[in-house]
Chains A and B, each alone.
Chain A
Amino acid sequence: MNDVDKLIEILNTVCPDVDFEAETNLVEDGILTSLDIVMIVSELMAAYDVRLDIDDLVPENFENAGTIYELIQKAKGN
């Protein structure tokens, strides 16, 4: 299982009804709400032991699994 697959597995535990592999505009299309985003963020912080900041909570970071993956990589780097 690669890193992105692992991420998708985590995302599916928070939002089981969302197809993270296929959807590319999760926020713009209204699939993810602010509540989903916060639940995803708290899940990611626990799973990867990283700290995400309020400035990270912008729609473009949560549009698809790829952008979320990049966000995690950035947080790991910090």
Chain B
Amino acid sequence: MAITSFSFLTLVLAAAVLYRLLPQSARWWALLAASLVFYAAGGAAAMAYLAVTAVSTYAAALLLQRENDRRRAMEEDKRRETRKRYDRRRRLVVGAAGLMNFGMLFAIKYWDAAVQGLSGLPTLGLVVPVGISFYIFQSIGYVIDVSRGKIKAERNFPRYLLFVCFFPQMVQGPIDRFGHLAPQLYAGRAPGAEEVRDGIQLMMWGFFKKLVIASRAGIVVDAVYGDAGAYPGCASVFAVLMYTIQLYCDFSGGIDIVRGVAGIFGIDMAENFRRPIFSLSLAEFWRRWHMTLGAWMRDYVFYPLSLSRACAALGRFSRKRLGGMFGRILPTSLATFIVYFIIGIWHGANLTFLAFGLYNGIIITASILLAPLYGKVKTALRIREESAWYRAFCMARTCFAVFIGRYLTRAPWLKMSLVMLKRSVFDLHLRQLPATVLGLGMSGGDCAVVAAGCAVLLAVEFLQERGVKIRKTLAERSPFVQWLAMIIPLAVILLFGIIGNGGGAGEFIYGRI
């Protein structure tokens, strides 16, 4: 069930009505029922995978909670004495839950690609269910948080199941935390009229990004990538630019819809994007893009890896042997590199994503290692970091680095990415651009709509970046202006949105991850 479909909106409406009708303590049942209906539409296999994750992480968390409770009841001396045994058990339970769930994810998503070309190993041909990476990451995060004693395990299985499969987040996240999301899911709070209005406005903003911009930009992307050899380099540049726009509007638009739907139920889901176009570096870009995955990687991979005994040993070695700044930051740089490498693989079982992870990891690691040198150059050239032109330069540099990285993620094969990149440099034929673009299924009007849509998006994000609260500002205006703020976006979506199957309107790129 696509979240841009009429059936999804009907489900949201039915769930919202049921939610209001039920007494406060029972309202979470309405959310669970809607979530199960939504996910059941994905088929029996999808439900079975969901059940494996929900049951295994529920049981693991209960075991961990029992260990934590026992330990808490011990005397201080006894606690110190049994610490190693406790840590071992804790790691065993977390490891078993991780192995089961990431093993399942590997089998479904990566096995066929891994054994391709190897004789004797069969392929499984399993269909990747929507959002499996997201709910597995969210559930494993819950298990780790319980093991660290940050939260208490949920004993009521249906309530826990709701946390795992809350329906708006099942397509492409965000990857929320139990401590943030679950209390809101169970509270059964009826949101006020303002919250419902804000939720609807956020949904419409998401539909605008997805249906007006992303789906239209996707037409060119599909055409060029469908037959990349047939077009000159300028078509590759234009297609990758459109893909960069499509990916942002598709993913962030989908998240806006999800957060808007949750807002209708009075639930504030985790923020996933903070205007990444204004990033001054690639590292900052990744802190503003898919923030919940970044936070997950930080808390459950980067921190443990950086504080591991292996990293500490490497740190001691590098300080002693290499000395200076380089020796000090080498272990952290290595941990950073590993994290970006994992993020790359997380995006897909393909060499292109491996290259994408390496590309980001190398640039960010190099920028850490070269930071002292940059500092000296800036001092020598008397560059003021806070000056507007330098910030503009950094933003342009980051956008360029992101743009080049996008060459790697859309093509089905790495060779195709590299050929397109080579053509963009050595076989550009810029004069052929207008005729080429119009031959890719996008009319002049479509180009104008994408350009105007991007201008609106940029203007809104620029204001937000400067601290303007747009929805709050609108809410302070007269009722007439407030109605216009609802009707005009709706009219724009209905008039200019690609609704239906064209341009992949029902699908989300990150929904396939």
- A: residues with CB less than 8 A from B are 14, 16, 33-35, 38-39, 41-43, 45-46, 52-55, 57
Contact = CB atoms under 8 A, between A and B. Distances in A.
A34 B315 contact: no
B391 interface: no
A21 B99 CA distance: 45
B312 A45 contact: yes
A8 B114 CA distance: 50
Contacts of A45: 312, 315
B307 A53 contact: yes
Nearest to B319: A46
Given A39-B332, A41-B307, A57-B307, A46 B148 contact: no
B329 interface: yes
A45 B309 CA distance: 12
A14 B368 CA distance: 12
Interface in B284-299: 287, 298
The 9 tightest CB contacts between A and B, nearest first, are A38-B306, A34-B298, A57-B303, A39-B332, A38-B332, A42-B315, A54-B303, A54-B304, A54-B307
B148 A54 contact: yes
Given A34-B302, A46-B319, 17 more contacts: A33-B287, A34-B298, A35-B336, A38-B302, A38-B306, A38-B307, A38-B332, A38-B335, A39-B328, A39-B329, A41-B306, A42-B312, A42-B331, A46-B315, A54-B304, A55-B148, A55-B149
A42 B306 contact: yes
Contacts of B307: 38, 41, 52-54, 57
Nearest to A56: B307
Interface string B360-398: 000000001000000100000000000000000000000
Interface of B: 148-149, 283, 287, 298, 302-304, 306-307, 311-312, 315-316, 319, 328-329, 331-332, 335-336, 368, 375
A76 to B, nearest CB: 16
B244 to A, nearest CB: 24
A38 B336 CA distance: 10
Given A42-B306, A54-B148, A54-B307, A35 B319 contact: no
Nearest to A37: B303
Contacts of A54: 148, 303-304, 307
Query: Which of B149, B298, B306 is the most central at the interface, judged by chain A CB atoms within 10 Å of its CB?
Result: B306
Contacts, number: 45
A42 B302 CA distance: 13
B405 to A, nearest CB: 19
Nearest to B307: A54
28 contacts: A14-B328, A33-B283, A33-B287, A34-B303, A35-B283, A35-B332, A35-B336, A35-B368, A38-B302, A38-B307, A38-B332, A38-B335, A39-B328, A39-B332, A41-B306, A41-B307, A42-B311, A42-B312, A42-B315, A42-B328, A43-B328, A46-B315, A54-B148, A54-B303, A55-B148, A55-B149, A57-B303, A57-B307
A35 B371 CA distance: 13
Nearest to B304: A54
Contacts of A35: 283, 332, 336, 368
A35 B298 CA distance: 9
B283 to A, nearest CB: 7
A46 B332 contact: no
Nearest to B284: A33
A38 B307 CA distance: 8
Query: Which of A14, A33, A39 is the most central at the interface, judged by chain B CB atoms within 10 Å of its CB?
Result: A39
A39 B335 CA distance: 11
Contacts of B331: 42
Contacts of B306: 38, 41-42
Contacts of A33: 283, 287
Contacts of A46: 315-316, 319
Contacts of B335: 38
Nearest to A58: B150
A38 B316 CA distance: 15
Contacts of A16: 375
A60 B306 CA distance: 19
